[in-house]
């Protein structure tokens, strides 16, 4: 468990946050530019001394301003990966990685050089210099160097933000492998929802130096009352799905989630039984009072309206419940009036299969 409580001020900005992150997995710090994400990371790493605060990992206190504890950054054992890889340009990839290994404390077990090279696919790069590498390759080396120092906590400050979309897609699977293999808690700063979907278990939602909400990614994605998430065009519930069947002749993949099933365009790479996460965007979900017939939509799910939350001038968000799973639907206020939508009403949620082209593999 990582406990963080921080109070710090800059001219015109106050950071006042408290949150807990689980002892393993990725906790994303998510919020708009200037909300304090990097300041939190710097304070946890020990690169910034906050006016007041406490940081403790598994009850091991790194910072406690009330009792005058402030462990030096190099003794906190936090691996930090920034947007720009910050590799040593005059050293080969191998020498950069071995620099990380030399920083590992004596007597601490952790992944070996060969394991990290294998995990991050760095074999072919070892003899090269950072300047000759692509941005994505440089970030993989930076991840490797951080991991070889055998940290107890990984801090990543928008590690993909400097990369173009193609490079981001290339590096994401390595980050997921690292998350699964390293068994360390990771604090991951981002303002990209697709990175949250692909990597994060927990989310700390920040705005103007404060925590708006914290919890599992699935729980927060399904809330209609958090404008910072719910007002986004890509807002929607995040469903933990299992591949039930590949319907090759229909060109579809059948997914199951607690309380329902979905048909999505076929993804041949997925094996039956495999788990994946699917973001079902609120704007792709319509509702009907009766189960429609003679309609092209594949996904028609019986559900109940739990909550109706205004979302701008002309629209609302409906929080729907399909068995134990919440969904969001964005409809016009006009539809609410026309159909007499109200909390407690049983309706049908309609989703086109092709709404799922952005499914992210967990």
Ligand X SMILES: Nc1ncnc2c1ncn2[C@@H]1O[C@H](COP(=O)(O)OP(=O)(O)OP(=O)(O)O)[C@@H](O)[C@H]1O
Interface characters, 178-197, with ligand X (x: CB under 6 A): -------------x------
Identify which of residues 33 and 67 has a Cβ nearer to ligand X in the complex.
33
Identify which of residues 184 and 205 has a Cβ nearer to ligand X in the complex.
205
Q: How far is the CB of 7 from ligand X (least distance, A)?
A: 13
Residue 96 backbone zone (phi > 0: left; psi -120 to 50: alpha; other: beta):
alpha
CB atoms within 10 A of CB 179: 21
**Residue from 2, 5, 30, 36 that binds ligand X (CB under 6 A)?**
36
Q: How far is the CB of 55 from ligand X (least distance, A)?
A: 16
Tokens of 76: 């906190």
Total residues at interface with ligand X (CB under 6 A): 11
37 binds ligand X (CB under 6 A): yes
Please choose, out of 37-45, 271-279, 300-308, 312-320, the segment that lies near ligand X by the rule CB under 6 A: 37-45
**Letter string b/e over residues 322-338, b meaning 16 or more CB atoms within 10 A of that residue's CB:** beebbbbbbbebeebee
Residue list 124-153, contact with ligand X (CB under 6 A): none
| Tokens 């055998």, located at residue | 150
- Inter-residue contact 110 to 104 (CB < 8 Å): yes
Q: How far is the CB of 12 from ligand X (least distance, A)?
A: 7
Strand order in the sheet with 315-322: 285-288, 346-351, 299-310, 315-322, 325-332
Residue list 5-34, contact with ligand X (CB under 6 A): 10, 13, 31, 33-34
Identify which of residues 191 and 304 has a Cβ nearer to ligand X in the complex.
191
Identify which of residues 137 and 158 has a Cβ nearer to ligand X in the complex.
158
Q: How far is the CB of 39 from ligand X (least distance, A)?
A: 3
Identify which of residues 47 and 309 has a Cβ nearer to ligand X in the complex.
47
Residues that bind ligand X (CB under 6 A): 10, 13, 31, 33-39, 191
């Amino acid at each position: 468990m990582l406990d963080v409580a921080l109070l710090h001020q800059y001219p015109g900005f106050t950071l006042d946050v408290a949150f807990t992150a689980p002892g393993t997995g990725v906790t994303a710090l998510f919020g708009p530019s200037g909300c304090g994400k990097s300041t939190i990371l710097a304070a946890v790493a020990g690169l910034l001394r906050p006016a007041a605060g406490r940081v403790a990992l598994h009850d091991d206190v790194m910072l406690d301003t009330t009792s005058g504890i402030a462990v030096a950054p190099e003794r906190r054992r936090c691996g930090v990966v920034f947007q720009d890889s910050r590799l040593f340009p005059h050293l080969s990839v191998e020498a950069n990685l071995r620099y990380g290994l030399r920083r590992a404390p004596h007597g601490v077990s952790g992944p070996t050089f060969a394991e990290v090279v294998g995990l991050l696919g760095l074999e072919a790069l070892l003899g090269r210099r950072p300047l000759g590498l692509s941005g994505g390759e440089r970030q993989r080396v930076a991840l490797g160097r951080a991991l070889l120092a055998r940290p107890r906590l990984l801090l990543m400050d928008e590690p993909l933000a400097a990369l173009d979309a193609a490079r981001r897609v290339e590096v994401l699977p390595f980050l997921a492998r690292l998350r699964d293999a390293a068994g360390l808690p990771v604090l991951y700063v981002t303002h990209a929802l697709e990175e949250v979907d692909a990597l994060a278990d927990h989310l700390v939602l920040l705005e103007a130096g404060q925590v708006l909400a914290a919890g599992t990614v699935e729980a927060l994605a399904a809330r209609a009352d958090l404008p910072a998430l719910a007002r986004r065009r890509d807002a929607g519930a995040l469903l933990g799905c299992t591949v039930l069947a590949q319907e090759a002749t229909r060109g579809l993949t059948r997914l199951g989630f607690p309380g329902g099933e979905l048909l999505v365009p076929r993804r041949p790479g997925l094996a039956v039984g495999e788990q994946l996460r699917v973001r079902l965007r609120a704007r792709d979900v319509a509702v009907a009072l009766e189960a429609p017939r003679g309609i092209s939509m594949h996904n028609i799910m019986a559900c109940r309206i739990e909550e109706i939350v205004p979302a701008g001038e002309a629209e609302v968000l409906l929080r729907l419940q399909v068995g134990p799973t919440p969904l969001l639907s964005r409809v016009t206020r006009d539809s609410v009036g026309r159909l007499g939508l109200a909390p407690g009403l049983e309706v049908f949620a309609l989703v086109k299969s092709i709404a799922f082209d952005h499914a992210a593999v967990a």
